[in-house]
């Protein structure tokens, strides 16, 4: 189907990018057939659609990274004739467009580190790049195609401005690979803004950010616009459309179903699945958070301390988790949540210098990392970043039986049936034989969630599991988590910055601030006290 509703107000501003009746070629076939769209100066766009709707394919085409089956894309550089997608190189496109994306905008030193535990091994290494070095570097241009260069003074002045706006001063001397997911996202956004692009594409920019940093990013948008940058925000969630957006492009089933002025689109398509997907009814009352003194102690941390290069990350953390309890692990960016989880999962070598007992065994008493992982299911932004893309989605799910990064062992028929049944329960049964690299970022996250659940582990660690997942699939997943927790076989530790993502089955909460336990106890009490 090629038709779409257009509510544009033509003639405003000068064009930046023109999509002229394009069709995009992807492994599954031709999508976005005969699509036209123009981004003009003075416009601020939000591109909205559920997981698998085609946002990533459209974004790749705009960036010159997806082949066109027909049509052309025109890039309107200042004081030049427009260049079309046939003749322009991706390096030249970067002179006009910057992109911060979990798929296409990874910081190179992080992307190339090779294994997800590298973050915890990097602190004794003098090689990893500092945040300041990353931000102040010249844009990569190995073929010499770019015409934009910056003096060190220009970069420093711009860096100081945006470091203040996004509160990066405390991160300036940190190693890039040592940043939390939320901290890295803020640094990547600042690095893009510092180069002063004409057009900045932000995909899921609020993912992994705490409330304070989400507000700070929203408040920075008017400053960016005043500098003459046009923004395109790409998201699966309509509630993330910023107030500053002037236009909306709705995407569904790999086609544009509407585009135009924001208020008119939101009013005319309020019931569209692209904006408000049908969501299951989820019971919201939480169970009692009373301690069960008879419950088996699964996890015990006593006076846990972690520091690197004179910086204290965790300071005197005491925490006990019993069977039958389900915990929310809360705290702002940089509070120490991911470091705490790395100790539990066996990824951080400082676990052996602390008193940590898991499943009745003291860390360092002869167990291997595989002994630990055999009884733990987990998902995190780091796992998503490093998981190899060459496997099928079903293979990714089945790798959860073996706790491997990639599938390197034979899967039994029973295991394969369990994995297929889980994909059905999550509403993604058709993903099975698809390549992991052929689906969108949000869909990949769903597959990794299935990987964490597939072996029904005694302990399930979910670190920001719903990042990039649309409302429909988020609620389906939370329903599965609630059902799993209710059975009493699995204890859950759940990390998120969004309260509406907390499964109702959670009984307790631990709130970290600056590496210390700020509050812990029954979840309703912790949430009520802020």
Give domain limits for the chain.
1-96+197-276, 107-141+148-179, 297-375+457-528, 389-445
pLDDT at 117 over 60: no
From residue 88, give the alpha-carbon distance in Å to each of 22, 67, 234, 242. Answer: 16, 13, 24, 31
Q: Which residues pair with 234 in a beta bridge?
A: 47, 203
pLDDT at 138 over 90: no
Average pLDDT over every residue of 47-59: 91
Tokens found for residue 200 = 């900045």
How high is the pLDDT of residue 485? Answer: 92
Average pLDDT over every residue of 11-17: 77
Query: What band does 119 get if pLDDT is binned at 50, 70 and 90?
Result: low
Pick from 71, 93, 58, 77: nearest CA to 20: 71
CA dist 448 and 115 (Å) reads 16
From residue 483, give the alpha-carbon distance in Å to each of 119, 234, 487, 507. Answer: 33, 32, 7, 14
CA dist 500 and 506 (Å) reads 12
Helices (H), 307-380: 337-345, 369-373
pLDDT at 111 over 50: no
Q: Which residues pair with 386 in a beta bridge?
A: none
- Do 1-96+197-276 and 297-375+457-528 fold alike per CATH? yes
Q: What is the CATH number of domain 1-96+197-276?
A: 3.40.50.300
CA dist 102 and 104 (Å) reads 6
Relative orientation angle of helices 413-425 and 441-453, to the nearest 10 degrees:
130
pLDDT at 244 over 60: yes
How high is the pLDDT of residue 97? Answer: 85
pLDDT > 70 in the chain, percent: 85
CA dist 446 and 448 (Å) reads 5
Q: CB–CB of 488/295 below 8 Å? A: no
Pick from 198, 241, 238, 189: nearest CA to 217: 189
Query: What band does 283 get if pLDDT is binned at 50, 70 and 90?
Result: very low
Q: Which residue has the higher pLDDT, 152 or 66?
A: 66
pLDDT at 291 over 60: no
Residues 6 or more apart whose Cβ sits within 8 Å of residue 42: 12, 13, 230, 246
Query: What band does 489 get if pLDDT is binned at 50, 70 and 90?
Result: confident
Query: What band does 121 get if pLDDT is binned at 50, 70 and 90?
Result: low
Q: Which residue has the higher pLDDT, 283 or 489?
A: 489
How high is the pLDDT of residue 108? Answer: 46
Mean pLDDT across the chain, nearest whole number? 84
Q: Which residue's structure tokens are 């509403």? A: 427
Tokens found for residue 404 = 């491997």
Pick the CATH number of 297-375+457-528 from 4.10.1240.10, 3.40.50.300, 3.40.50.720, 2.40.50.100: 3.40.50.300
pLDDT at 170 over 70: yes
């Amino acid at each position: 189907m090629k038709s779409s509703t257009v509510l544009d107000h033509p003639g405003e501003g000068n064009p930046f990018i023109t999509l002229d009746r394009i069709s995009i070629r992807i492994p599954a076939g031709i999508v976005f057939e005969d699509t036209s769209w123009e981004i003009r100066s003075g416009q601020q766009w939000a591109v909205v659609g559920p997981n698998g709707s085609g946002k990533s394919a459209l974004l790749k085409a705009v960036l010159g990274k997806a082949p066109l089956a027909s049509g052309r894309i025109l890039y309107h550089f200042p004081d030049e004739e427009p260049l079309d997608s046939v003749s322009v190189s991706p390096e030249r496109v970067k002179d006009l467009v910057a992109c911060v994306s979990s798929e296409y905008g990874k910081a190179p030193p992080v992307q190339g580190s090779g294994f997800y535990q590298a973050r915890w091994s990097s602190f004794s290494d003098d090689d990893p790049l500092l945040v300041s070095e990353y931000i102040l570097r010249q844009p990569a241009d190995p073929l010499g195609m770019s015409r934009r260069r910056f003096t060190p003074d220009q970069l420093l002045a711009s860096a100081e401005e945006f470091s203040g706006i996004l509160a990066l001063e405390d991160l300036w001397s940190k190693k890039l690979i040592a940043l939390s997911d939320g901290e890295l996202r803020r640094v990547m956004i600042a690095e893009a803004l510092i180069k002063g692009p004409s057009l900045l594409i932000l995909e899921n920019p609020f993912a992994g950010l705490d409330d304070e940093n989400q507000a700070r990013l929203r408040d920075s948008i008017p400053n960016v616009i005043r500098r003459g940058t046009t923004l395109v925000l790409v998201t699966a969630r309509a509630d993330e459309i910023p107030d500053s957006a002037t236009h909306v492009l709705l995407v569904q089933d790999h086609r544009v179903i509407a585009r135009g002025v924001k208020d008119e689109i939101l009013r005319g398509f309020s019931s569209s699945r692209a904006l408000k997907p049908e969501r299951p009814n989820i019971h919201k009352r939480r169970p009692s958070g009373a301690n069960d003194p008879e419950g088996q102690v699964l996890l015990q941390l006593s006076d846990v301390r972690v520091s690197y290069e004179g910086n204290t990350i965790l300071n005197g953390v005491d925490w006990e988790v019993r069977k039958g309890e389900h915990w929310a692990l809360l705290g702002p960016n940089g509070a120490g949540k991911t470091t705490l989880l790395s100790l539990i999962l066996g990824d951080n070598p400082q676990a052996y210098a602390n008193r940590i007992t898991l499943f009745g065994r003291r860390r360092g008493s002869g167990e291997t990392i595989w002994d630990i992982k055999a009884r733990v299911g987990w998902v995190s932004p780091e796992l998503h970043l490093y998981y190899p893309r060459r496997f099928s989605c079903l293979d990714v799910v089945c790798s959860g039986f073996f706790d491997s990064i990639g599938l390197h062992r034979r899967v039994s028929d029973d295991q394969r049936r369990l994995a297929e049944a889980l994909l059905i329960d999550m509403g993604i049964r058709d993903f099975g034989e698809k390549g992991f690299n052929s689906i969108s970022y949000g869909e990949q996250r769903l597959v990794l969630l299935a990987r964490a659940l597939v072996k029904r582990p005694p302990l399930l660690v979910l670190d920001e599991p719903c990042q990039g997942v649309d409302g429909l699939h988020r609620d389906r997943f939370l329903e599965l988590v609630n059902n799993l927790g209710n059975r009493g076989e699995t204890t859950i530790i759940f990390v998120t910055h969004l309260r509406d993502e907390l499964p109702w089955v959670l009984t307790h909460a631990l709130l970290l601030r600056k590496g210390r336990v700020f509050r812990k106890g029954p979840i309703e009490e912790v949430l009520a006290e802020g």
